Structure 1
């Protein structure tokens, strides 16, 4: 079964639309949505409705820290723009949409795959997998062969052999990677709606569970429209639009 791994949508309708279309053109048979559907962007209601519909069709959907903050109130440790975006987003969603976000699980296991927003060792704490140390801690916390998580906004792949040898590398888009069966793997597909590696194209990954092949994808989308939508949304911090615009400049 080929599944699309999508994380950190952040209410970016333009990016998510482009990724969904690209994934379907690749013949995906399922979706795994790894959290942070809201926050920062201007279309939280539309994005949440898409996630809800995909989940109703059998997709994996786990909660991210922004999702829970919108459903339950912002975390005081969030920076000011993020907190302001959370409060704005809460006012854009219906009670049913807020309830859906608040009821999402922190993690889900299907066969030998673990799906979680931040990490496997403390899903509720939302600590970042910033390097090999946190990745190995995450892999040691689960018996699943494959762990898929988001939160970091940049694509990355980690692995752990049966003898305890660890490795990592930064993948290149579109190149299939065979995930060897004698290792554990931690896959971070990158951010769909808020990529932060200097490339403005939306990130996601394709995983074929039958063959064990993984490929990281970059999908161009209308960044200018997403920037304009944030600027036009009364109440969203202007800095959030400028951050997306800056990624566009860096990517040229």
Structure 2
């Protein structure tokens, strides 16, 4: 089975469509969504509708912090641009779509894997995995051999040996990485809708459960069109401008 890992779409229709198309071309048998379907982008209704449909067909999906903020209302710690986007997004979704986002689980365990937006040790707290310390803490909080997280908009891969030795590296797009089960692995596919690693191309990853390999991918898309839609919607210009640089 090939499992496509898709996260942090952030209401970016063009990037989401590009990733779905490439996942299909690469033979994905199933999809796993790691949260943050909404926030920042101009097409929240369309994105949520697509995710709802795909979940009804068997896709895995978990809740992100932006999904929770849209479903429940923005929290005080959000920065101003994110708060404005959340408030705007709440007005774009139907009650059923808001209920869908609010009902998503924080975690999902299936196929010997853990799927979570932020981390395994405190999923509702939304702590970021920014380095080895957080990665180790997350891997030690689960018995799953493979953990897949979103939240951090930069691709990364960590592994923990049976002796507690941790290592990490930045994956090369298109290169399959062996992820054998005698170690624990934590993968961050990067963001579909708002990359922040200096590369504007959308990011996703494919986990091959038969071969136990993980391949990270980047997909160019029309980020100019996406940015124009964000500005036309009256959302903060910075949310569109940053798509050009991937920052």
- Shorter chain as normaliser: what TM range? over 0.9
Q: Which residue of 2 aligns with 1:213?
A: 213
How many Å apart are 1:154 and its aligned residue?
Answer: 0.1
Does structure 1 residue 223 correspond to structure 2 residue 213? no
Q: Secondary structure at the match of 1:74?
A: coil
Q: Secondary structure at the match of 1:124?
A: helix
Does structure 1 residue 91 correspond to structure 2 residue 91? yes
Q: Which residue of 1 aligns with 2:239?
A: 240
User: Any conservation in 1 of the 2:199–2:245 contact (CA below 8 Å)?
Assistant: no
Q: Deviations over 1:12-31 (max 9, x none)?
A: 00000000000001110000
Q: Which runs of 5+ in 1 are unaligned?
A: none
Query: Hey, what's the Cα distance between the residues in 2 that align with 1:246 and 1:156?
Result: 19
How many Å apart are 1:111 and its aligned residue?
Answer: 2.9
After superposition, where does 1:180-191 map in structure 2 within 5 Å?
180-191=180-191
After superposition, where does 1:10-49 map in structure 2 within 5 Å?
10-49=10-49
Q: Which residue of 1 aligns with 2:68?
A: 68
Query: Hey, what's the Cα distance between the residues in 2 that align with 1:165 and 1:175?
Result: 24
After superposition, where does 1:144-163 map in structure 2 within 5 Å?
144-163=144-163
Q: Which residue of 1 aligns with 2:194?
A: 194
Q: Secondary structure at the match of 1:239?
A: helix
Query: Hey, what's the Cα distance between the residues in 2 that align with 1:54 and 1:126?
Result: 25
Q: Deviations over 1:114-147 (max 9, x none)?
A: 0000000000000000000000000000000000
How many residues are treated as equivalent by the alignment?
247
Query: Hey, what's the Cα distance between the residues in 1 that align with 2:148 and 2:169?
Result: 15
Query: Hey, what's the Cα distance between the residues in 1 that align with 2:158 and 2:50?
Result: 30
Q: Which runs of 5+ in 2 are unaligned?
A: none
Structure 1 stretches of at least 4 aligned residues deviating more than 2 Å after TM superposition: none
TM-score between the two structures when normalised by the length of structure 1: 0.97
Q: Secondary structure at the match of 2:123?
A: coil
TM-score between the two structures when normalised by the length of structure 2: 0.99
How many Å apart are 1:243 and its aligned residue?
Answer: 1.6
Query: Hey, what's the Cα distance between the residues in 1 that align with 2:218 and 2:237?
Result: 26
Query: Hey, what's the Cα distance between the residues in 2 that align with 1:230 and 1:69?
Result: 19
How many Å apart are 1:246 and its aligned residue?
Answer: 3.6
Q: Which residue of 2 aligns with 1:4?
A: 4
Q: Secondary structure at the match of 1:167?
A: strand
Q: Deviations over 1:56-91 (max 9, x none)?
A: 011110000000000000011010000010000000
Q: Which residue of 1 aligns with 2:204?
A: 204
